[in-house]
Structure formats: C-alpha cells, structure tokens
Amino acid sequence: ALASKGAQCVITVRNVEKGNAVKADLEAKLKEEGVSAKDIAVMKMDNCDFESVRTFAEDFKKQYDRLDIVCNNAGVMGLDVQMTKDGYDIQIQTNHLSHFLMTARLWPLLKSTAEKYGDVTLTQVSSGASEKGKPTVDASNLNNPHPSHGILLYLAPYVLGGSTGHWARYGQSKLANVLFANELQKRLAAAGLGEKMKSTSCHPGLAATNLQITTQKGGGMKDGAGYQKSGQSCADGSLPLVMAVAHPTLCEGGAYYGPSEGRTGAPVKTKNENPMAYNEAVMKALWEASEKAVGEEFKL
C-alpha cells in the first residue's frame, strides 16, 4: 500500500532469500495493478539478536538520508520459553525489545527527517492479545515465565491451545508495544517534537498469516488453520497499520487503530481496552527496563 503511493519501502528479514521472494511477489502485484513503484529493498535484521539489529541500523543510515515511516511489525506468538543469545525470552525480545533498540539506533535519522520535512510517523503493531484477559507487563523481570493477568486468560488453553504461560507472555509482549508507543508519544511532546512526529499503535485483528501455523508447530495452538477461518486476509489486516502511519486526517499521535469489528472489518481509530496500556508509571518503567535490557539509553 505504501509503495503504491510512491514510498521507498525497506523490509527487514531474518532470511534474505525469503525476503527477496516477498519483494518479487509484491513488485509483481504492483506491476499487475499498473503502479509504477520504486524498487522494494530487502535488508537483513534478526530480532532475536541485538547485534543484528545494531548492524542493520548502521547499514540503513549509510544507505539512506531520511526515514519518514517506521512500522515495527515483527512478531512471534504463543511459543515455549526460549532464551535468545542475549538472554531474553524470544517473545519479549522479538516483539518489543528489538523494536525498541532499532528505534533508538535510528532516532538521529528520524529526528533529522522530522526537522527537515516535518512529518514522521512510527507505529508499533500490537494485538488483541494485549487486551484480552488483561495481561500485564512485569517491568521488574521481563523474563517472567508467567506474568500476572486477569482471570479470563486462564481460558486461553481451552480456546486456543498451548498453556496459559504461552499466552500471558505473548500478551505481555503485545501490551509492551502499546506502552512503548504511548511513552514515546509522551516524550515527543515533552521534547517539543509533537508537531513534527507521531507515535501510534495498532493491531490487525485476526489476519490469516503464517503466524498461526508457526504457533501451532511450536505447540502453542491446537488448530491454527481452523482459527484463521474466522479472520480476514493478510491484506485487510494490514489496513489499521496503514491508517496508523499514513492516513491524511486520522493519523494522530498516541492513537490506537484496529478493525471495526475487533477481529475483522474496516480500520478505525479505537482505544485499547486494557487500562494498563495507559498507565504512565508502567509506561516509564517499561522504557527504563528496555534501556537496561538492550544496554543503551534512548534519549530523544
């Protein structure tokens, strides 16, 4: 969608060969639609490896002199406890910590772009799992194998499969996306950048992608393919993300976007139903815990 409107798009991937296949597929579809788009670039970045994130950021800054839109969309779901080489559970590192680090490393370029062109937007792609069952973020221990949550999350293994721990850790990582976006927006305003930069968050509803199948293979879901049938297409699932970074009138700093019917429907500006998503003490605590985890200060 962004490429079709003239954006120079860069996609980050763990596997460059797979990334090039996605690039070819997207460019073929754009050509079929008669759109003259810029080449899509593929760059390697593994969210399970902080050093890979740092290398990507440095390579990106060498190749590009501006960055207008960031879509932090990488995610894994409902997996067993697995520690990365950096010592963090795979869900919190892939879904949040590496996005935090990448954004911090690219911040000088984002800020200079905003100062020169005046319209930079970042979005963190969350999930309905940030709300359902009222998960929490344990900022004192991001590796907590079973962060606290509301009573309804105990039903997840019966509805989806896996264990409550699978989904409590996933919910934590997805709530972290919204908390990061909201704290970033707060800090943008405090730094006097609120007129030139926006930080948003969004969720795709239930979009039928490889995510559900991967979760099933990892033991976290009993019927990924069956679950997909109550959702919408990958393309429709991307619409709240597009709205969150590029809508000419509805893109608003601090806002949250998702499908109108929850799992499906047209994209709308909405509100995260988990009260913790707007808890300023938790927002600040997560930011500080994230700085400690990645070993870098993120100053605006």
Phi and psi torsions of 44, nearest 5°: -80, 130
Q: Are residues 146 and 161 in the same domain?
A: yes
Q: Are residues 121 and 196 in the same domain?
A: yes
Distance, CA of 113 to CA of 193 (rounded, Å): 12
Instruction: Concatenate the DSSP letters of all residues of 90-121 into one string.
Output: HHHIIIIIHHHHHHHHHHHHHHHHHHHHS-EE
**Distance set, CA 66 to CA 8, 38, 231 (Å):** 10, 16, 36
Q: Are residues 122 and 225 in the same domain?
A: yes
* Active-site annotation holds for 196: no
Instruction: Concatenate the DSSP letters of all residues of 23-73 into one string.
Output: HHHHHHHHHHTT---PPPEEEE--TT-HHHHHHHHHHHHHH-S---EEEE-
pLDDT (0 to 100) of residue 231 = 85
Distance, CA of 135 to CA of 282 (rounded, Å): 13
The predicted-structure confidence for 145-165, as pLDDT tens digits, reads as follows 999 999 999 999 999 999 999
Half-sphere exposure of 168 (CA within 13 A, CB side): 21
Phi and psi torsions of 83, nearest 5°: -90, 135
Q: Are residues 4 and 107 in the same domain?
A: no
**How many folded domains does the chain comprise?**
2
Q: Are residues 5 and 85 in the same domain?
A: no
Active-site annotation holder among 111, 132, 134, 174: 174
The predicted-structure confidence for 100-143, as pLDDT tens digits, reads as follows 999 999 999 999 999 999 899 999 999 999 999 999 999 999 99
Q: Are residues 99 and 224 in the same domain?
A: yes
Active-site annotation holder among 23, 134, 170, 256: 170
**pTM of the shown model:** 0.96
Q: Are residues 40 and 53 in the same domain?
A: no
Joined tokens for residue 122: 């970042």
Instruction: Kindly give the confidence (pLDDT) of every residue in the chain, 300 residues in length, as a single tens digit, with 9 standing for 90 and above.
Output: 999 999 999 999 999 999 999 999 999 999 999 999 999 999 999 999 999 999 999 999 999 999 999 999 999 999 999 999 999 999 999 999 999 999 999 999 999 999 999 899 999 999 999 999 999 999 999 999 999 999 999 999 999 999 999 999 999 999 999 999 999 999 999 999 999 999 999 999 988 888 888 888 888 888 888 877 788 998 999 999 999 999 999 999 999 999 999 999 999 999 999 999 999 999 999 999 999 999 999 999
pLDDT (0 to 100) of residue 87 = 98
* Active-site annotation holds for 170: yes
Q: Are residues 104 and 128 in the same domain?
A: yes
Q: Average pLDDT of the chain?
A: 95
Q: Structural domain of residue 27, as residue ranges?
A: 1-44
